Amino acid sequence: MAQVTIRINGFAYIVGCEDGQEAHLEQMAAEIEQRINSIKSIGGQSGEARLLMLAALLLADELSDLRGGAKPSETPVAADTGDERRAKLRRVAARAEEIAADLTDA
């Protein structure tokens, strides 16, 4: 089993993976880093856990679109205009807050 050190938002993480999968793992980490940089560029810096949660939600939203047959955005998140990124991030954050509130009420 191989081990790879990835950096996300300035933090180093040692992650195990199957031999030969190191480059793929590094590419996945780069995708997360890209989302975090997008969030930070629109003023979303509010703690490490929140940044990672928002990045995960953005990726999950894209995955949901792909799995549900909905056509994902024609432009990747990094190529979106600032206004489009802000709007999408607000929608994802609002949905996360709704889910958290539902869990608190339960």
Of 68, 49, 62, the C-alpha closest to 88 is 62
In the predicted model, is pLDDT for residue 3 greater than 70? yes
Query: What pLDDT sits at residue 30?
Result: 94
Query: pLDDT by residue (tens digit) across 11-35?
Result: 999 999 999 999 999 999 999 999 8
| Listed residue (47, 41, 44, 33) closest to 93, CA to CA | 44
> Average pLDDT of 86-106?
66
Summarize pLDDT for 46-93 with one digit per residue, the tens: 788 888 888 888 888 888 888 886 554 544 545 556 677 677 777 777
70 token code pair: 């909905």
User: Domains of the chain: which residue ranges?
Assistant: 2-105
What is the reported pTM?
0.62
